[in-house]
Amino acid sequence: MASETQQSITKWAEETFGPVSDQTVLVRRAKVELDELLEATAQGDKREIGKETADIAILLYRLMELNGLNLTEEVTAKMAENRARSWLASGDGTGSHIKPQGT
């Protein structure tokens, strides 16, 4: 099976669902899929976790393509920014960055 790309996913989605007239519909749909992912994680259903995460990624790929952005490049740039920050761990596997004084 050939690997999908941001472009191939966007092409399929446009052919299947038509063009996006309002990008917020993609974000709203991603919220629905995120709720489904939350349910799958609460149930510990790895198969559904994979499927729902993929659904969210598909919507994000489409959103990025519509804006002339590349998700992989944006994640790479954001990780460089994150690695340069100081972080405060919450103790639950998450955390928040420490804002520099005076900002």
> How many CB atoms are located within 10 Å of the residue 103 CB?
4
The answer to the question of residue 103 being in a domain is no
pLDDT for position 100: 85
The answer to the question of residue 68 being in a domain is yes
The answer to the question of residue 65 being in a domain is yes
- Among 26, 19, 4, residue whose Cα is nearest residue 72: 4
Number of domains in the chain: 1
The answer to the question of residue 102 being in a domain is no
pLDDT for position 95: 95
Give the pLDDT band (50/70/90) at residue 101.
Answer: confident
pLDDT at 59 over 70: yes
The answer to the question of residue 34 being in a domain is yes
The answer to the question of residue 20 being in a domain is yes
Task: For residue 20, count CB atoms less than 10 angstroms from its CB and return exposed for 0-12, middle for 13-18, buried for 19 or more.
Answer: middle
pTM for the model stands at: 0.89
State which residues form the domain around 53: 6-97
Give the pLDDT band (50/70/90) at residue 16.
Answer: very high
CATH number of the structural domain spanning residue 16: 1.10.287.1080
Instruction: Kindly report, residue by residue over 29-50, the tens digit of the pLDDT.
Output: 999 999 999 999 999 999 999 9
pLDDT for position 72: 95
pLDDT for position 1: 85
